[in-house]
Amino acid sequence: MNSIVKSDFNFPGQLKKYEGKVRDVYYLKNDKLLMVASDRISAFDVVLPKGIPFKGQVLNQLASRFLDLTEDIVPNWKIASPDPNVTIGYACEPFKVEMVIRGYLTGHAWRVYNSGARVLCGVELPEGLKEHDKLPNPIITPSTKADEGHDEDITREEIIANGIVSEEDYTRLEAITHALYKRGTEIAAKQGLILVDTKYEFGKRNGVITLIDEIHTPDSSRYFYLDGYAERQAAGEQQKQLSKEFVREWLIAGGFMGKEGQEIPEMTQEFIELVSERYIELFEKVTGTPFVKAKTNSLAERIENNVLDYLANG
């Protein structure tokens, strides 16, 4: 199966290119961005050495769908999606924080809690919780948006005191984050899923707060199956989930957590296909629609032709 792990296009009006962990961002004239969702996969802020077929298509099409379903809550950057792996939108001035919101004690939050800490990003957590328990109320645990290296937990007070985001804007970001998460949980529940936690990124365009990047994808979110959740919690069993967490767990089991000196376990073809299947399963479960695999025999050529056609005629 073909995958795209690197792109090197030269589109009309292209000014520069930025390569993120997963997406390649092409800056175009007239304050436009063209974002290619690659098949790269990252965990612990490290890009793994092999691509996951159809992962980029899943991410791009899910994000595009959820941007459309939430545009009544907050304006977003999207203009069009001319290819299964591509979104074109407005360039925004990004806020240097990621708005992470959690409804359950899972993943990073559980690892912090399990270490004995009861405060996460300035938010106090109650005693007596166990892994995957639902929190009394969703909490926002922001992190810094690092250009390189690891994102770091940060408190609301630190963000405002350090002038990273003004208090007025941050208060608005909190309200939008809660509204987006509420919408996401409602959509997930209709599909028999729980939106456990997720993150949002925002910027400003013409002075207006705007949702950027992706939303409610398996790279930015964690989902549990609703059916059997309560029973599994009561029995102390692990939750059945659709997310990238199983990749992190696989890495941890192989002795890798992104720290210096640690080696990434070998990504076998069997493992790569398993990850691809999980991404496709999540797409179908979240959307309630079949995933249609785009042609991948000439993936880069397909992307280029679709984008050129849109730029010429869109």
How confident is the model over 41-63, as a mean pLDDT? 94
Output the pTM of the full model.
0.90
How confident is the model over 85-92, as a mean pLDDT? 98
For residue range 179-188, list pLDDT tens digits in order.
999 999 999 9
Q: What pLDDT is attached to residue 214? A: 94
Q: Which of 94, 115, 105 is nearest to 138 (CA)?
A: 105
**Between 62 and 151, whose confidence is greater?**
62
Q: What pLDDT is attached to residue 147? A: 60
In this model, does residue 84 exceed pLDDT 70? yes
For residue range 193-216, list pLDDT tens digits in order.
999 999 999 999 999 999 999 999
For residue range 273-294, list pLDDT tens digits in order.
999 999 999 899 999 999 999 9
For residue range 258-269, list pLDDT tens digits in order.
999 999 999 999
Q: What pLDDT is attached to residue 216? A: 95
For every residue of 36-78, DSSP letters joined together read EE-S--EETTEE-SS--TTHHHHHHHHHHHHHHHTTTTS-BSE
Reading the block at residue 288, the tokens are 């309630």
What is residue 104's three-state secondary structure? strand
In the chain, what are the domains?
Answer: 94-246 (3.30.470.20)
